[in-house]
Amino acid sequence: MKTTRLLNHPDLSSSAHRSHYLSLLTHFVILACFIAQSSTAQNKVIVYQTDFGLKDGAVAEMKGVAIGVSPSLQLFDLTHEIPAYNIWEAAYRLQQTAPYWPAGTVFVSVVDPGVGSSRKSVVLKTKSGHFFVTPDNGTLTLVAKQLGIAAIREIDESLNRRQHSAGSYTFHGRDVYSYTAARLASGIISFKEVGPKLPGSVVRIPFQEPIYKDHVISGNIPVLDIQYGNIWTNIDGPTFNQLKVHTGDTLHVKIFHADTLLYTGDMPYVTTFSAVPERAPLAYLNSLLNVSFALNMESFSLRYHIFSGPDWTVAISSKNE
């Protein structure tokens, strides 16, 4: 053996040298195992998102299945208040929250109006080391772009389906997704054991990505700051900065739904709501550092009937050019 020859080396002939060498070798092996494990292992954390609400026992059933697989799992909720069937909002909430969770976290997202259809049940592993267990129906549109696709596997239900559930066709969230997520998060199965590898793309919902052209920035309204009725766009800081706008400058804003102009108006770009009078409009950067619009102490959405989704777009220009 190589180890025996090394131990017979003249420099390792003394017991002190031999002990030192073995200590270094042990530490090296432990470090190598840790690095190998940390690059692939899950962290026993599952985060759930659904459109189920909390009025019945559906969410508790999913969590019960997970704990039945491994009581050591930690289970958390992203939200269960996604509007019914709203795949787009599910996609946005994953993008909003996933980067704040550590690598190895397994997300289960079940907004599945096509349950029982030909849509695939998949697990996405992102380049950031996160895992997403979900129907491939558009839910992965934003997080795949944001975090990058490392690999996608289709769930093999012959191996990764709750026992005695083959007769159930309408609750894959419990019988397939939560069960598979628990097996993956706990390390019972590896990512490769989820099922066969798929081509490196996901079903995508088309939307207006932020772009600057001819002194106008165009973007999408992916979601509302629903509690207050503020309008959140996907226009990030670097794209917005191409307008060369400074605090206090006036923006000209147009909002469209499926190419129909529903709002046009001017508003100041400010850092706080209190910079304008009550019920006055303002533009600001939200907590995700994306451009947003609001009325101070009033709902912009309700006053102007502005909502969100992939077919809602905005156009912003500067009045100070």
The region, left, alpha or beta by phi > 0 then psi within -120 to 50, assigned to residue 61 is alpha
What CA dihedral angle connects 21, 23, 24 and 25, to 10 degrees?
80
Which amino acid, residue 216?
A: V
| 145 CB-near residues (< 8 Å, 6+ apart) | none
Angle at 237 between CA 231 and CA 238, to 5 degrees: 140
Q: Please measure the distance between the N-terminal and C-terminal CA atoms of the chain and give it in whole angstroms.
A: 76
CB 187 within 8 A of CB 69: no
Count CB atoms within 10 A of the CB of residue 167: 6
Fold of 45-194: Rossmann fold (3.40.50)
For the chain, which residues make up each domain, given as ranges? 2-38, 45-194, 211-318
SS3 sequence of the chain: CHHHHHHCCHHHCCHHHHHHHHHHHHHHHHHHHHHHHHCCCCCCEEEEEECCCCCCCHHHHHHHHHHHHCCCCEEEEEECCCCCCCHHHHHHHHHHHHHHCCCCCEEEEECCCCCCCCCCEEEEEECCCCEEEEECCCCCHHHHHHHCEEEEEECCCCCCCCCCCCCCCCCHHHHHHHHHHHHHHCCCCCHHHHCCECCCCCCCCCCCCCEEECCEEEEEECEEECCCCEEEEEEEHHHHHHHCCCCCCEEEEEEEECCEEEEEEEEEECCCHHHCCCCCEEEEECCCCEEEEEECCECHHHHHCCCCEEEEEEEEEECCC
Interval 169-226: pLDDT, tens: 768 878 899 999 999 999 999 999 999 999 989 999 999 999 999 999 999 999 999 8
Across 173-194, b (16+ Cβ under 10 Å) vs e yields bbbbbbbbbbbbbbeebebeeb
Report the pLDDT value the prediction gives residue 32, as an integer from 0 to 100.
44
CATH of domain 211-318: 2.40.30.90
Distance between CA atoms of 301 and 12, rounded to whole angstroms?
A: 76
Give bridge partners of residue 154 from the DSSP assignment. 122
Report the pLDDT value the prediction gives residue 201, as an integer from 0 to 100.
92
Report the pLDDT value the prediction gives residue 42, as an integer from 0 to 100.
74
What is the chain's pLDDT, residue by residue, as a tens digit (321 residues)? 444 444 455 554 555 555 555 555 554 544 444 443 444 457 899 999 999 999 999 999 999 999 999 999 999 999 999 999 999 999 999 999 999 999 999 999 999 888 777 889 999 999 999 999 999 999 999 999 999 999 999 999 889 888 877 767 768 878 899 999 999 999 999 999 999 999 989 999 999 999 999 999 999 999 999 899 999 999 999 999 999 999 999 999 999 999 999 999 999 999 999 999 999 999 999 999 999 999 999 999 999 999 999 999 999 999 776
Distance between CA atoms of 19 and 35, rounded to whole angstroms?
A: 24
